[in-house]
């Protein structure tokens, strides 16, 4: 296995590399070894066919633990698709609003177009998030632009803001500084 000796200068240089993975299979030992590096984590894991998996690595803060304990699966993809669609809805609304302000359309036409295709223009906040949903959203929000407040987080993922506030308090998160670091 790799011998990770923490040296701040060396490990900061290693950790701040592009995300890469290197795998090798040593046939004589039937050993699988993978080394992954990303901006915040460098991890090696090894396993024998059907045997135990061994991890070791270096990370900044809780990044490795977060990656291991937050279930990033199909529901994560659904959350991301919803976030993209919500940003598209916001963009569509502001395009339509610009047409109204530029007097390309009337106020009645503006309202009619929104009523006719509400899903294209209005972001809902009807999802009651679980604690795991909030953890995933906070994790994902670190790399999504302009998610800085509780309102940003709730609108992006269509979360009910009251339930989001409640869960953030349970997680001991300061809703005023949500995702800024």
- In the DSSP assignment, the letter for residue 113 is H
Do 107 and 168 contact (CB within 8 A), yes or no?
A: no
The tens digit of pLDDT for each residue in 4-61 reads 333 344 344 333 333 344 444 444 444 555 656 555 556 656 666 666 666 666 766 6
26-34 long-range Cβ contacts below 8 angstroms, 24+ apart? none
Task: Dump strand ranges (E) for 29-134.
Answer: 31-37, 41-48, 53-59
Indicate the pTM of the whole model.
0.60
- Write down the pLDDT at residue 89: 97
- Write down the pLDDT at residue 139: 87
- Write down the pLDDT at residue 36: 61
The tens digit of pLDDT for each residue in 58-114 reads 766 666 666 666 556 778 889 999 999 999 999 999 999 999 999 999 999 999 999
Please tell me which residue, 68 or 139, carries the higher pLDDT value.
Answer: 139
């Amino acid at each position: 296995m790799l011998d990770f000796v923490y040296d701040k200068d060396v490990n900061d240089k290693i950790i701040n590399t592009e995300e890469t993975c290197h795998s090798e299979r040593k046939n004589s030992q039937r050993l699988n070894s993978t080394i992954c590096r990303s901006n915040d984590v460098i991890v090696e894991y090894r396993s024998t066919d059907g045997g135990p998996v061994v991890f070791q690595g270096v990370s900044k803060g809780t990044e490795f633990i977060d990656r291991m304990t937050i279930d990033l699966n199909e529901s994560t993809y659904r959350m991301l698709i919803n976030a993209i669609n919500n940003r598209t809805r916001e963009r569509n609304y502001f395009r339509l609003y610009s047409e109204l302000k530029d007097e390309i359309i009337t106020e009645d036409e503006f309202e009619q177009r929104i009523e006719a295709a509400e899903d294209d223009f209005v972001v809902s906040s009807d999802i009651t998030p679980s604690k795991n949903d909030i953890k995933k959203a906070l994790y994902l929000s670190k790399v999504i632009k302009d998610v800085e407040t509780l309102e940003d987080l709730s609108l992006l993922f269509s979360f009910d803001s009251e339930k989001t506030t409640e869960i953030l308090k349970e997680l001991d998160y300061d809703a005023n500084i949500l995702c800024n670091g």
